[in-house]
Structure 1
Amino acid sequence: MTRSARRTGLDPRALGELATQRLGSCEKALPDAAAGLTVAEFLATAPRLSSFLTPLLVLDGAALGANTARLATWCAEQGVDLAPHGKTTMAPALWERQLQAGAWGITVATPSQLRVAVAHGTPRVLLANALVDPVALTWLARALDGDPELDVVVWADSVETVAAMDAVLAPLAPRRPVDVVVELGAAGGRTGARTPETADAVAAAVAASPWVRLRGVGGYEGSLAHDASAAGLAAVRGYLADVAALHRRLVAAGAYVEAGEALVTAGGSAYFDDVVAALGPLADPDGGSGLPTRVLLRSGAYLVHDDGFYRGISPFSRSGGSPFTSAMHAWARVVSCPEPGLALLDAGKRDVPFDEGLPEPQLVADALGAPARPLPGAHVSAVNDQHAFLRTDPASAEQVRVGQVVRLGLSHPCTAFDKWRWIPVVADWSEPDPVVVDLVRTLF
């Protein structure tokens, strides 16, 4: 498919196909009434939340909209752009929300995710990883040759990475080079060149190759800290200063001679304020300093946010201002109360995230969609494959009963979405037994 240079969103035909997909009888948590209907036909019946099975992951449309608008406005005020990490949700319908709010493009992490993005007409895609898989690199080269409007940028952190790309691309002799960002890392981090000299050598290797083209510099600060302590923030800020220095060094060396526009990219959802403080001054969209330069944040978790790790570490939470709102919750049913103070819920590791903290019990109700009340003093002590261990004070009057449902706050959207193929969206989950207004399809 050839993209219009004016289009900023996904391919409407690809998005439309999501609504025409026919639902089967084995879809996780969907009611029997959905079987045999297309998504659009099912939604036209105005299904209520109470018709779904537990365990169930639910999204709040109002919170999704507010979070999207909040970061889009902030980025515009700061003079930076956003290429949100699509791997958080792997849901093209949610990517479209972000693109329509002004996002420059979508970031992905793997070749398979890249194929999903291209198949749905994503105008610009940043693969925040090296691409040395021969099958995937061959596919990308052919895709670039077949679509002059397709804009894909990948990463490289070593001379060996560039050599591996050249070995695949040279026999193909593609008409278009593959754009590359030099990734700078740091000791104790994840990928990325560990020294300035290595990063400079990567840029030189790219310049010497006819098959790849230097497009910018980038990295990921989130692997250097896991909190907002003084030591953690110092590590993040020192690293970001090194990323900025690498870009300035390449500009001075004339390394971007073919780029047209340089990209400088960093920024997860935990330290994007520090990224803007360090890299924002590099943004120069008009090229007044001689080279048009775009600074790209890759924050992804902000869209859905959470009631755990990101609730505590997000810059908007730490600043004391207006924080993001969690747009996801799970509902799980009490299936056993085998001893005082212990209840077993029907949601486990295959349903809810647990890598950044266990689910947080918040409300209890007699049924899905029924009035709910707080569940103070309760906590989840462990999760098995299909169960969560809900602990309450045996002496408290607030005890749960078999058959009731518990709303769980979740931590880490990146490992929540991958457990679900269809996720219902309600317009406002404060309404009694809310109508499901959308089904979000994930493509992991």
Structure 2
Amino acid sequence: MTSIRTRCAAALLAASMVVPVAASAQSGSLDSQRQAVFAQLIASPADRALMLAYARLSVQMRDFEAAAATLERFLDLDPGNTAARVELATAYFALGAYGVAQYHLAAAAASGGLTAEQAEQVARYRAETDARQAPHQITGRIALGQSWARETDQSGVFGTAQLDWRFDMGGPNANDWLTQLAFSRYSPDEIGFDDRQTTRLRSGPELRLTGDAYGPRLQPYLELMWMTEDDGFGFVRDDTSVALGFAYQNPHNAFWTSYADVQLGRGERERFGFGVDFDFHEVRLGLAYRPSRDTRIRGTLGWRDEDTDDGFGAYETATTLRLEALHGFDTGWQALPRRWEARGWVQRQEVEQGDRFGIFNDFTDTGYGLGLRAFVTDALFLEARGARLERVDGFGFDAPETIYSLQIGWEF
């Protein structure tokens, strides 16, 4: 008989597959509405109400170029319309044309015709535009909280931190040198679900091949990583590695983005007081779909191969498939300044371990989870997560775990 756990995982995977279909239907409905408005604009090209309707539908579909072109024509007819100028500025901001966006934001602020809500919006966009045009940009996120493991009845610290530093290298295509530092700590632990602490440093130039918001971005980089695992019985594993990599990201249009990451590296692993060197190769390929401003769906396929210089030809190969979805929504509470974010994920990883004498271990990790990030200020948030993890090895040993966590975090 199929277990309840298996049925739940299948149901979640099926629901995840339905999300793109529903999102596509929503996108198709917006496109039909926009086509209808466009047909009316052909008959009445100077109708300002139709122009605004077409521009707003274009923004909802994330076609910011069409929105900007329509709003430019609108302002030619009505240059004193501050609401339209603010919408034009936000469209240029979304396209990454920060200088043009700043021009229209300044004109709207100087008009004297903004409502209190519009003035606050303009001030926020002007500050963000200034920050993005600065030669140095530092952004980050810190979150710290508690996690609980149901089956093993354990609890512990669950924390993450990330710091991104961008340095403008100049040039017509807004090329940056990007340095990223990330840290994570996961606890509790159980056999098969180790206490893990990871620190990762990546640095390299991010090169844009075009001057607009779309088109390929390439980043050759150097990455350093330090990782410690404790299986709960006092057996500690320490890894230190260095890798050369190449990351590719290509926003093809407002909806679709493809990405890839390839790296080759070498590291040292210390376990039981002995150290061995290892070589590794890792590839990740993915596709992201954004049907609206509020919804993002991403699927990633990953492969990693590791060979150890231990004299026995030990190796490990892992193949991972992960599907993620994120949806932002307005709570309707005016006291809350930012939209909340709901997310879900499902993942399956197959691992094979062996040496020159043959395969001695293989296991499959499956997991799925849900999360909610609730912003209580522009920067401060609470995040609740729940996840179900399960490992089944080649001997039929099943190690399930249900983990809940609650964190408080800060974005800057």
| Shared fold, TM over 0.5 | no
Structure number with the higher strand fraction is 2
Q: Which has the higher contact order (CA 8 A, sep 6+)?
A: 1
Is the radius of gyration larger for structure 1 or structure 2? Answer: 2
More helix by share: 1
TM-score with structure 1 length normalisation?
A: 0.28
TM-score by structure 2 length?
Answer: 0.30
